[in-house]
Amino acid sequence: MRRILLTAVMCSLFAMPLLAQRAFLDHITAEAGAGFSFPAGGVANRTNTGFMFMASGGPRFNRHFTLSLDFSLHYLGLEDSFVVPETGAEISPGSELRVWTLTVNPGYEFIKQERFSAYATGGFGLYNRRLLITTPGLVPAAVCDDFWNVCVTNQPDLSASGHGNLYKGGYNVGGGVTFGARTKFFVEARYHHMLVTNPTTNLIPLTFGVRW
């Protein structure tokens, strides 16, 4: 009888941390993913479709409502930028537009089943837009691009002046669907708008990833 009681106590002691861990995991949410980033607004005229990745995490208040801190990073190739007026040559092949975002996003799962859910999300936070400029050779003089409001020169060293690195507020809205039980695969689309007008910077990422 004592052995049975001792075994029961030992099993309870081992089970308690597992139950506490499960209860803790039921009250947090996290996800990570990657995908494609489609330019919209003003930047659509001078950038190509790029790639992105994102990660987020935060508390889960109940079965439907979450609050997360979201980080996303986007890279899009530049096109038709920094053209030498005398020759018409583009000096920036391989250059990119990089945008990162850090936002606080509430989310709501309006359809929640055992292996399928659909959710909506949106939030506001800090956005950074930066031109990553490369040149294959010497820049004959300062070459400026009025669209980006940036000038490039390599005399004496490659440098850029103007608004090539901006920090502004911004917001995003979107939604997605998940498949699976505890570890879920998700597909999500969002609309990002950075509060800047030179040029307007909007992105529409399509993300594939894993959610817990």
* Dist CA 145 CA 162 (whole Å): 10
Phi and psi dihedrals of 44, rounded to 5? -65, -20
Instruction: Answer positive or negative: Cα dihedral of 73, 174, 49, 131.
Output: negative
Of 161, 169, 164, 160, residue with least CA distance to 196 = 169
Is the pLDDT score of 79 beyond 90? no
Lowest mean pLDDT across 16-25, 93-102, 129-138, 141-150: 16-25
pLDDT recorded at residue 166: 93
pLDDT category at 32 given cuts 50, 70, 90 is very high
pTM: 0.83
E strand or H helix at 107: strand 96-112
* Dist CA 203 CA 25 (whole Å): 32
Highest mean pLDDT among 92-101, 146-155, 171-180: 171-180
Q: What's the count of helices (H) and strands (E) in the chain, helices before strands?
A: 1, 11
* Average pLDDT of the segment spanning 195-207: 94
pLDDT category at 198 given cuts 50, 70, 90 is confident
Is the pLDDT score of 3 beyond 50? yes
Lowest mean pLDDT across 24-38, 41-55, 102-116: 24-38
* Dist CA 154 CA 143 (whole Å): 10
Provide the token pair at 183: 């570890």
* Average pLDDT of the segment spanning 174-196: 95
* Average pLDDT of the segment spanning 37-57: 95
Q: What is the largest CA-CA distance in the chain?
A: 96
Q: What is the chain's mean pLDDT, rounded? A: 84
Alpha helix (H) ranges present in the chain?
2-25
Lowest mean pLDDT across 2-16, 152-166, 168-182, 194-208: 2-16
Bridge partners (DSSP) listed for residue 52:
35, 74
pLDDT recorded at residue 29: 93
Bridge partners (DSSP) listed for residue 175:
120, 189
What does the CA dihedral 43, 122, 53, 168 come to, rounded to 10 degrees? Answer: 50
pLDDT category at 191 given cuts 50, 70, 90 is very high
Of 91, 88, 81, 72, residue with least CA distance to 33 = 72
E strand or H helix at 56: strand 50-59
pLDDT recorded at residue 212: 87
Residues 6+ apart with CB under 8 A from 71: 54, 55, 56, 100, 101, 102
